[in-house]
A and B are shown apart, each in its own frame.
Chain A
Amino acid sequence: MTEHRETGRPGSGGGSEPPPGNPLIPDDGEDARAGWAQTAVQPPPGNTVERLPVTIFFSVASALLADIVAQQVPVPWSALLVAMAAIVGAVGGRMLERVIAADFSSATARGIAAVRSGFERLQPLWRMMGPIDDAVLKLAKFLIRPTVAGLTAAVVLAVLIAPKITAMVSPEPECAPPKELPVLISPELAGQIRTAAAGFEDEQAASSGCRRVHVTVYTEEKLQSVIRALRVGWRSDTAGDRLSSAFNTIGPRPVLWIPSSMADVQQVPRSSGEPMPELRPLGPTVWSPLVLGVPENRAKDLDLAHRDSMNWTQALAALRRERIRLVRPNPDSSAAGLLHTTAVHEALNGGGADASRARVEFRRFEHAVGRSPSSDHELLCALRDGRLPRDETAVMVSEESLIAYNAGQSLGEPCGGAPGGLAADPKLLAYYPESGYGLDYPVVQVNWPGFGDDQTQGFVGRLYQYLARNVGGPLIGSGLRDAHGGHGQRYPPGGEPPTMYWAGNEPARPKPESVRRTLDEVGQTRDATRMLLTVDTSDGMDAEASPGLTRLDVAAVAAEGAAGYLGDGDTLGMWTVPGTDGRPYTDAVRPKKLEGDRGLDQLDLIRQELREPRRGARQSVNQAIEAGVEDLGRQRTPGTTALVVFTSGDPAPDREGLLRVRAAMDANPDVRVFVIAPGRDACKAEGIDGLARAAEVTCHDGDLVDVEDTVRGVFEDLWKVTTP
Chain B
Amino acid sequence: MTRLPQFIRGSRWFWLALALALLVAVPLAIVGGLRIWERLAGDLEPGPIVLASGTDVSLNRQRQQLIDKWNLEHPANPATMVELSQVADLQRSQMVTAAQQRSANYDVLNIDAQWTAEFARGDLLRPIDETRLDTGDYLDVALDGARYRDRLWGVPFNADAGLLYYRADLLRQYGIQPPDHWTWRAMNDTWVKIITFGRPEGLRSGIGLNMGAYEGRTINMLEQVWDAGGEVVRDPNIVTVDTEVASEGFRRIANGVEGGRYAFIDPRSRGWAEDNVVQSFNNGELLFMRGWPVAYPQVDKALGKDANGRSRVGVAALPGPSVLGGQNLAIAAGSQRPKAAQALIEFLTSAPAQRQLFFRGGLAPARESVLEDTEPSQVPYVNMLRLALETARNRPVTPYYPLFTRVMQEEGARLLSGDSDGADTPALAGRLKRVLQGG
Contacts and interface: CB of A to CB of B under 8 A. Distances in A.
Interface of A: 32, 46-50, 52-53, 56-57, 60, 63-64, 67, 70-75, 78-79, 82, 163-164, 166-167, 170, 172-177, 179-180, 182, 198, 205, 209-211, 214, 216, 218, 237-243, 245, 247-253, 255, 413, 416, 448, 450-453, 456, 542, 544, 547-550, 705
A32 B16 CA distance: 14
A649 B271 CA distance: 36
B59 A548 contact: yes
A71 B89 CA distance: 34
Nearest to A175: B438
A247 B83 contact: yes
Given A182-B97, A205-B439, A252-B93, A211 B55 contact: no
Contacts of B151: 167
Interface string B267-286: 01001000100010000000
Contact of A253 (B56, B97, B102): B97
B188 to A, nearest CB: 23
B36 interface: yes
Given A67-B32, A75-B131, A548-B362, A247 B84 contact: yes
Given A60-B21, A214-B403, A251 B36 contact: no
B100 A253 contact: no
User: In the complex, which of the residues A242, A252, A705 has the most CB atoms of chain B within 10 Å of its own CB atom?
Assistant: A252
Contacts of B134: 74
Contacts of B40: 75
Q: Which 6 A-B pairs have the closest CB atoms?
A: A175-B438, A239-B80, A548-B57, A252-B94, A167-B150, A251-B90
B14 interface: yes
Given A167-B149, A180-B96, A73 B103 contact: no
Given A52-B17, A211-B435, A251-B90, 7 more contacts: A60-B28, A74-B130, A74-B131, A173-B437, A247-B85, A248-B55, A448-B103
A159 to B, nearest CB: 16
Contact of B13 (A52, A164, A174, A450): A52
A216 B90 contact: yes
B94 A251 contact: yes
A82 B39 CA distance: 16
B132 A74 contact: yes
Given A78-B131, A173-B121, A216-B93, A237 B104 contact: yes
A79 B103 CA distance: 41
A60 B268 CA distance: 67
B358 interface: no
B28 A63 contact: yes
Contacts of A46: 7
B13 A53 contact: yes
Contacts of A238: 50, 80, 82
Contact of A705 (B8, B39, B275): B275
B69 to A, nearest CB: 15
A163 B58 CA distance: 39
A559 B374 CA distance: 39
A548 B122 contact: no
Contacts of A452: 101, 103
B100 A174 contact: no
A106 B26 CA distance: 36
B86 interface: yes
A214 B60 CA distance: 35
21 contacts: A56-B24, A57-B20, A60-B21, A63-B28, A164-B150, A174-B437, A175-B437, A175-B439, A177-B96, A177-B118, A205-B439, A209-B439, A239-B80, A248-B84, A248-B86, A251-B90, A251-B93, A253-B103, A452-B103, A548-B58, A548-B362
User: In the complex, which of the residues B89, B103, B132 has the most CB atoms of chain A within 10 Å of its own CB atom?
Assistant: B103
Interface residues of B, number: 75
A206 B137 CA distance: 45
Given A56-B21, A75-B39, A167-B150, A50 B80 contact: no
B72 interface: no
A211 to B, nearest CB: 6
Given A205-B439, A237-B50, A542-B60, A177 B122 contact: yes
Nearest to B7: A49
Contacts of B105: 237
B318 to A, nearest CB: 21
Contacts of A67: 28, 32
B121 to A, nearest CB: 6
Given A72-B130, A175-B439, A177-B118, A453 B101 contact: yes
Nearest to B148: A167
A416 B7 contact: no
Contacts of B56: 548
B226 interface: no
Contact of A237 (B86, B106, B362, B435): B106
A198 B93 contact: no
Contacts of A248: 55, 83-86
Nearest to B93: A216
Given A198-B406, A252-B90, A253-B97, A177 B28 contact: no
A241 B94 CA distance: 15
Contacts of A214: 402-403
A71 B28 CA distance: 14
A177 B97 CA distance: 12
Interface string B21-56: 100110010001000100110000000001010011
A456 B101 contact: yes
B236 to A, nearest CB: 11
Contacts of B81: 239
User: In the complex, which of the residues A166, A209, A250, A451 has the most CB atoms of chain B within 10 Å of its own CB atom?
Assistant: A451
Given A47-B7, A167-B151, A182-B94, A544 B28 contact: no
Interface string B115-150: 000100110000000111110000000000000011
Contacts of B377: none
Contacts of B87: 218, 251
B400 interface: yes
B400 A175 contact: yes
Contacts of B118: 177
B412 interface: no
A218 B105 CA distance: 24
A176 B400 CA distance: 9
A245 B7 contact: no
A451 B101 contact: yes
A91 to B, nearest CB: 16
Given A50-B13, A179-B100, A252-B90, A64 B399 contact: no
Contacts of A78: 36, 131
B98 interface: yes
A210 B97 CA distance: 19
B378 interface: no
Given A175-B438, A176-B122, A548-B59, A49 B11 contact: yes
B60 A550 contact: yes
Nearest to B295: A547
A132 B64 CA distance: 78
Contact of B271 (A71, A250, A416, A705): A416
Contacts of B361: 548
A216 B97 CA distance: 10
B298 interface: yes
Nearest to A544: B59
A49 B14 contact: yes
A239 B82 contact: yes
Contacts of B130: 71-74
A253 B84 CA distance: 11
A255 B96 CA distance: 13
Nearest to B5: A46
Nearest to A415: B271
Given A252-B90, A252-B97, A243 B55 contact: yes
B50 A211 contact: no
A451 B101 CA distance: 6
Nearest to A201: B403
Contacts of B85: 247-252
User: In the complex, which of the residues A50, A180, A251, A451 has the most CB atoms of chain B within 10 Å of its own CB atom?
Assistant: A180
